[in-house]
Amino acid sequence: MSLTADYQGIKDREKLFDEAKQLRPVFKAIVFVTMFLGMREITAENCQEFFERVWKTEGVLGAFCADSNGPRYITQEDVMQMIGLRTNVFPEWSRRRFERHLARTALNLALDNRRNQEAARGSKPEGVA
């Protein structure tokens, strides 16, 4: 199933789009990150939780978008501008499930980096899968 987004509930939603009526990169990143975060919508009640998950995830994976100055991290203000966004992300995740997912992602990333370092040196410690 493809990701769908409904912007109708967003106040001042026209500010999300550029002159060519394309969703600005930071807002497009927010839409797509809903899948990684396990959150289908941004509301006034959950926008702080949404931002905290984004902040933690970008801390592990890096910025989700870039501008002319380089990496562009999503700010709390960006998230607040998206209050009212609804997507078809399913299932929604509890904070605990999200944090387990992020921890597994971080571990896999670290292990991949270590394996790449070892491969570049042409060695691998014995007993490591």
| C-alpha atoms less than 13 angstroms from C-alpha of 39 in its C-beta half-sphere | 28
Q: Is residue 44 assigned to a domain? A: yes
Q: What are 48's two structure tokens? A: 């702080």
Q: Is residue 127 assigned to a domain? A: no
Of the candidates 2, 23, 9, 1, the one whose C-alpha atom is nearest the C-alpha of residue 86 is 9
Q: Is residue 129 assigned to a domain? A: no
Range of 112's domain?
5-121
Q: Is residue 108 assigned to a domain? A: yes
Q: Which pLDDT band holds residue 121 (cuts at 50, 70, 90)?
A: confident
Q: pLDDT tens digits for 61-87?
A: 999 999 899 999 999 999 999 999 999
Element (H, E) at 112: helix 95-121
Residue 82: what pLDDT?
98
Q: Is residue 58 assigned to a domain? A: yes
- Number of structural domains, the chain? 1
pTM: 0.88
Q: Is residue 62 assigned to a domain? A: yes
Mean pLDDT for 35-50 is 97
Q: Is residue 126 assigned to a domain? A: no
